Amino acid sequence: MLWPGTLIGAGAGYAIASIPGALLGALLGQALDRRLQLHSWAQLRERLGGRPALRNDELLFVLLGRLAKSNGRVVDGHIQQARQEMRALDMSASAQRRAIAAFNRGKSGSDRVRRYLRVLKAQPHAAEGVLRACWRMVWADGRADDAERDLINQWGRWLGWTPQQLKALAADYTPERKPLANRGASYQDALRLLGVTATTEPSAIKRAYRRLLSRHHPDKIAGTGASPAQVREATERTRELHSAYALIRERRDFR
């Protein structure tokens, strides 16, 4: 864990009185860290009157704002999508105000989000939720341009996602995506759908398949209050996963 006051105290003490000074400075700095509950440089900046550290929900809307503005113009579809995300998160009035402010900050592109995404990497479900919300925002205006794709791919890498996983996730949100079972699925299509490669071990393929099947199961989706259209999409996605897994098992000859 990072203790900024401790580091500053140790550095200042060393500059003044070498090693004894560093030890004394570190002790004093640690006492300050504990008193002010400082665990990061962002918290220190906040205490000093700088921009507050981003909460997870604010981080999401900063990212959504940046995507909405990435092609130069925020349209009504972007605004409506942001509101829909707020409703999906069941935000209170105060949380919505913070989200709106974060969205507007995101449009300016001034926030450095890399360190926040690397922290979020330790929360896989939250990280996936952020990436999915980002793709929903991308398609809010009916198209996805290179700048938007580049941003999501960059953020995904910072979150620890592989290129194959990011490509499979992007496919979930591509409009008019034909079902795998109906488009003469190739082996490569099946691999991309499961987010695996031709050299992935069978046990890892099975885990990826079961994880995706659990995530997209229509009964699970329905239990979260999803719309009938979302349940139908989950049902179709489940069929695709079955088809992809069967194709890979046949090609790799495992059970």
pTM: 0.53
Report the range out of 48-52, 57-61, 213-217 with the highest average pLDDT: 57-61
Q: Where are the alpha helices (DSSP H) in 48-92?
A: 56-69, 76-88
DSSP code, position 177: P
What are 21's two structure tokens?
A: 């000074």
Residue 194 · residue 243 · CB < 8 Å: no
Answer yes or no: is pLDDT of 215 > 70. Answer: yes
pLDDT bin (cut points 50, 70, 90) of residue 1 is very low
What are 178's two structure tokens?
A: 């034909």
Instruction: Please indicate whether residue 11 or residue 154 has the higher confidence score (pLDDT).
Output: 154
DSSP code, position 219: H
What distances in angstroms separate CA 104 from CA 37, 64, 71, one per listed residue? 29, 9, 15
Q: In the predicted model, what is the mean pLDDT of residues 110-117?
A: 83
What are 61's two structure tokens?
A: 């809307």
SS3 of 175, please? coil
What distances in angstroms separate CA 167 from CA 76, 80, 163, 170, one per listed residue? 27, 26, 6, 5
